Structure 1
Amino acid sequence: MTDTGTMRVLAIDTATDSVVTGVATITGEDVTVLAARSVADHRRHAELLTTLIGEVLEESGVGRTELAAVVVGCGPGPFTGLRVGLATAAAFADALGLPAYGVCSLDAIAAQVRGDRPSVGSVAVISDARRREVYWARYENGTRVAGPQVAAPAAVTGEVAGVDVAAGSPAHIEAVGLTVDEQVPSVPTVFGLATAAVPAIAAGEVPESLVPLYLRRPDAVERQRPATAVPR
């Protein structure tokens, strides 16, 4: 934190197919993005993230020692991609002695929508959960009122009916019966991530341990050992 009350934060998200990172300043409730990267490549999250972090720090002119916190999207998202962002954020924060604030990645998308359109009342955020399912949440006047949850699109249609704006994955927005607006974000943004963390940062909260929002068990599970026969 500087004398003017401005905090510089590093934002990270790998909850979707895109690797998102950037540097932003937070002054009170105002967020300003200094540098940002978003690269869609679900196969190279780990490979891309460290390089992109270096790029945004250089572009923003913010040194590692000038950062006051790390903000990271905790999902919901697929196991493999999500853990890349969380592990990187935790390691980066630990190495520099910084607090790491975890935020719901759907909240970050909704926060970007509200930042772009302050007058919008209701927002639904829909993202790809694979297995023919979606992650979803509903917001009223900037507050999450339902979700995050995972469900089949047909089960979500009634939950998000009538919203003013739908954001997130276009194909999955259509799958739940909503209209796609190309002007809204499809993945978390640096602005949205930082904005979602503002309440906790402004309150001076000590962040809890980073916990991923998988919402269901990972595909790969440890094989159970066969029961051992009890000798007679």
Structure 2
Amino acid sequence: MILLAIDTASALCAACVYDSDADRELGRSVLDLGKGHAEHLMAVVDEALAQAAVGFDALGRIVVSVGPGSFTGVRVGVATARGFALALNIPAVGVTTLEAVAAETRQSFAGKRIMVTLDGGRGEINVGFFDETGDQVGKPLVTNLDEAARLATAHDGVIAGSAAAMVAGAADRTFPTGSTGATADICVYARLGAAKAVGEKPKPLYLREADAKPQAGFVLPRIQS
């Protein structure tokens, strides 16, 4: 099966075309943007397809990063993936950034328990636990640095993700450390997405509420007739 993987959950705007039967990446394009995913994603996808020398009609599945990560970036990626899936009449599956970072870390720490810690900003840490077989343990959560350090000490395994150094510092100890990015390589998403069963349409994974909220003070009162 040929699939397209998309990741816009962090500063990267990434896409790759992957052949799951051959376990081979056919083409990729990755930009380190920070912001502006919506303006650049289609060009990134086009470049990945061009490198792979395939068209949209060759795709059998869309894989997309569903977060946690940038609220805007995640929405852009998920909306694009669902749009492709609808237009091409093929399934779309979601892969979390926590799953991807854990999978990337397992390449160096096979058979180890992994705690993924992603910096959510504003003192928040997104956390996910994975057992020795790679399965996620419990639900992902958002917490503060001190609690993340306590959890890491209790977990006493490999830690990974963009907040790994902060968590280790707060715990005042050294941990085996895996991938320390805010996301994983785009091909990791492709491999994970290829192995997933098709289920519900992908949707963003938000562990806290969005910063932007309706301004209730500007709501006009209803006129009673």
Query: TM-score range with shorter-chain normalisation?
Result: 0.7 to 0.9
Specify the SS of the correspondent of 1:176.
helix
Q: What residue in structure 2 maps to residue 156 of structure 1?
A: 148
Aligned to 1:184: 179
Distance in 2 (CA, whole Å) between partners of 1:199 and 1:163 is 29
Q: How does 1:41-120 map to 2 (within 5 A)?
A: 41-114=33-106, 116-117=107-108, 119-120=110-111
| SS class of match (1:197) | helix
Distance in 2 (alpha carbons) for counterparts of 1:200 and 1:183: 23
Deviation at 1:181, TM superposition (A): 7.6
Runs of 5+ consecutive residues of structure 2 not aligned to the other structure:
none
Q: Which residue of 1 aligns with 2:160?
A: 167
Indicate the residue corresponding to 2:16 in structure 1. 22
Q: Could you say what the CA RMSD is over the residues aligned between the two structures, in angstroms?
A: 2.5
Which digits, 9 at most, give the CA deviation of each residue in 1:78-124, with x for residues without a partner?
Answer: 3212111111111122221121111212101212222x236241122
Given that 1:31 and 1:194 are in contact with CA atoms closer than 8 Å, whether structure 2 keeps it comes out as no
**CA displacement 1:150-177 (0-9 Å, x = unmatched):** 11111111223355433221xx212211
Matched, 1:136 2:127: yes
- The CA distance in 1 between the partners of 2:87 and 2:99, in whole Å, is 27
TM-score (norm 1): 0.82
Residue 12, structure 1, aligned to residue 6, structure 2: yes
1:16–1:81 Cα contact (<8 Å) kept: yes
**Amino acid paired to 1:211:** K
- CA spacing shift, 1:120–1:63, aligned 2, 3 Å: same
Q: Which residue of 2 aligns with 1:200?
A: 196
Partner of 1:4: none
Q: CA deviation at 1:39?
A: 2.4
Choose 218-227 or 63-72, whichever is displaced more.
218-227
| Identical counterparts, % of pairs | 31
Query: Larger deviation: 189-198 or 83-92?
Result: 189-198
Q: What amino acid is the match of 1:176?
A: V
CA distance in 2: counterparts of 1:214 and 1:63, whole angstroms: 32
Deviation at 1:44, TM superposition (A): 1.6
- Residue correspondences, number: 216
List runs of 5+ in structure 1 lacking aligned partners.
Answer: 1-6
